[in-house]
Amino acid sequence: MKENRELKDFKPRGAVAFFIGLIALYAVMWFAIYALLIISRGG
């Protein structure tokens, strides 16, 4: 029963942090490409 309780208390903090970091990285890449496009068009 102890194993079942440990599984219930398990929270994948590392996986959630990695997912949030990945979203942030993609957001930065998207904004960088977007800024480059605006600058190249003379905006």
CA distance 28 to 34: 10
Read off the pLDDT band of 4 (50, 70, 90): confident
Q: What pLDDT, on a 0 to 100 scale, did the predictor assign at position 2?
A: 65
Q: What pLDDT, on a 0 to 100 scale, did the predictor assign at position 6?
A: 73
- Domain boundaries, given as residue ranges, for the chain: 13-43
Per-residue pLDDT at 1 exceeds 80:
no
Provide DSSP, 1-43. -HHHHHHHT---HHHHHHHHHHHHHHHHHHHHHHHHHHHHTT-
pLDDT in tens, 6-42: 778 888 999 999 999 999 999 999 999 999 999 999 8
Q: How high does pLDDT run on average in the chain? A: 90
* Closest-CA residue to 33 (of 41, 20, 17): 41
CA distance 38 to 28: 15
Q: What pLDDT, on a 0 to 100 scale, did the predictor assign at position 5?
A: 76
